[in-house]
Amino acid sequence: MIHVRPERFLQDLHTLRQFGAAGVGKGVVRPAYSHPDIAAREWLAQRYEEAGLEAHFDPVGSVWGLAKGPSLLVGSHSDSQPEGGWLDGALGVICGLELARAAQEAGGPPVSVVSFQDEEGRFGVTTGSRVWSGATDLKSADRLTDTHGLTFADARARMKHLAGGFVDYKRFTGFLEAHIEQGPWLHEAGEAVGVVTDIVGIRDMRICFEGEQNHAGTTPMHRRKDALQAMARFQTLIADRFRNVVTPQTVWTTGHVDVHPGSHSIVPGRCTFSMQWRDGERERLDRMEAIVRDAAGEVAADGGFSVSISDMVGLDPVPMDARMQAALGEAAEDIAPGRWRRMQSGALHDAASVARLMPVAMLFVPSINGISHAFAEDTKESDLVTGLRVMGSAVERMAVAFAA
């Protein structure tokens, strides 16, 4: 019987946040391959060894604690956003460490741990787990660059002295990832645990309206082809048309906007902007795509603009394994009765990559006020411990279920 020890788990979580401590609340600055990130991974390797696991770095810097024989893999990532919170993926990594340690102490079931590298996408998107799962090949990944032009190849060379080969995925029966929710749903409902049903799919593109750059003093309004105004009309139009298609969980975002030439006194000739939407159902993502393309075309035709749409990046929704979900649900009902729910993950996680190789499941704990990717990110320690206990109970249930 796995017996998790909350004080040890919390102690390790607090120790980990010393690596790259921002000095603002509990925040951390620990982007992939930074000095604090590498130091944290070396510390993790040492903790794995102390827990009776075999520590191992793979070619991209993901750090593994391997149990002997077939095992359940538990983990997440310990790199952070440029301005990150102390939990985020670190929660899942230390949760894995405590479960592996407690499992070693209990004589089973065997649990291995991982902290994937660059989940936060300094280079790609969930880069470490995507390379390991084969979603991206290492040669392509090596050409990725961060915003300063550093290549992934040069970044991972910083951990070359630690690196061994890739870990054979066949030794794992499944992958279990704990993470903060990053949204407000659990916090608003006063619930302690979310059992993830699906990781939503994403569609992401860049749209460019091209009108006529002109003098802002001498060009009458009726003669203008103002590309910024085209973008604003597009936003209004899609919000209106999405209304009968979306669910309360569906989201869409324009996060990046470039207005050319960007002068107070020049009517914008070109506006390029990002358009991203996420939903748990592939069919809805497709219907939204049709609305986006139609709306962009209509705005262009009505105003005499030309419109171009970039290649679309698409990640389909990833369903969590039914048996693992069931084990998490039973454990949650046992440990936090009435204080948990099934829910989608609106954010992408390493589990989405690993699902290419094996059954995966995820558990969420609340984010206070829904804040994440910010120094202010936090979760009540009682909720962290509840999450850990549900994970421990679920690991035992999975061992039984998988053996059956």
- Which residues are at the interface with a copy of itself (CB under 8 A)? 181-185, 200, 202, 204, 213-223, 226, 228-229, 231-232, 235-236, 246, 248-257, 259, 261-268, 274, 276, 278, 345-348, 367, 370-374
Residue 255 or residue 338: which is nearer to a copy of itself going by CB? Answer: 255
User: In the complex, what is the shortest distance from the CB of residue 215 to a copy of itself, in angstroms, rounded to a whole number?
Assistant: 5
User: In the complex, what is the shortest distance from the CB of residue 18 to a copy of itself, in angstroms, rounded to a whole number?
Assistant: 25
Q: Which helix (H) or strand (E) holds 75?
A: strand 71-77
User: In the complex, what is the shortest distance from the CB of residue 141 to a copy of itself, in angstroms, rounded to a whole number?
Assistant: 19
How many C-beta neighbours within 10 Å does residue 371 have?
A: 17
Residue 151 or residue 213: which is nearer to a copy of itself going by CB? Answer: 213
Residue 174 or residue 317: which is nearer to a copy of itself going by CB? Answer: 317
Residue 145 or residue 214: which is nearer to a copy of itself going by CB? Answer: 214
Instruction: Please tell me the distance from the alpha carbon of residue 116 to that of residue 78, in angstroms, as a whole number.
Output: 7
Phi then psi for residue 208, to 5 deg, are: -130, 120
Q: Enumerate residues 6+ apart whose C-beta is below 8 A from 32.
A: 61, 79, 117, 118, 119, 120, 122, 123, 127, 128, 155
- What one-letter code names the amino acid at 53? L
Q: Is 90 helix (H, G, I), strand (E, B) or coil?
A: helix
Residue 7 or residue 218: which is nearer to a copy of itself going by CB? Answer: 218
User: In the complex, what is the shortest distance from the CB of residue 276 to a copy of itself, in angstroms, rounded to a whole number?
Assistant: 5
Q: Which residues of 377-389 are buried (b: 16+ CB within 10 A; e: fewer)?
A: bbbeeebbbbbbb
Residues in the chain: 404
Of 146, 147, 3, 119, the closest CA to residue 60 belongs to: 119
User: In the complex, what is the shortest distance from the CB of residue 181 to a copy of itself, in angstroms, rounded to a whole number?
Assistant: 7
User: In the complex, what is the shortest distance from the CB of residue 243 to a copy of itself, in angstroms, rounded to a whole number?
Assistant: 10
Instruction: Please tell me the distance from the alpha carbon of residue 6 to that of residue 9, in angstroms, as a whole number.
Output: 5
- Bridge-based pairing state of the strands 71-77 and 172-180: parallel
User: In the complex, what is the shortest distance from the CB of residue 345 to a copy of itself, in angstroms, rounded to a whole number?
Assistant: 8
Residue 167 or residue 347: which is nearer to a copy of itself going by CB? Answer: 347
Residue pair 128/43 in contact by the 8 Å Cβ criterion = no
Token reading at 59: 């070619």
Residue 250 or residue 325: which is nearer to a copy of itself going by CB? Answer: 250
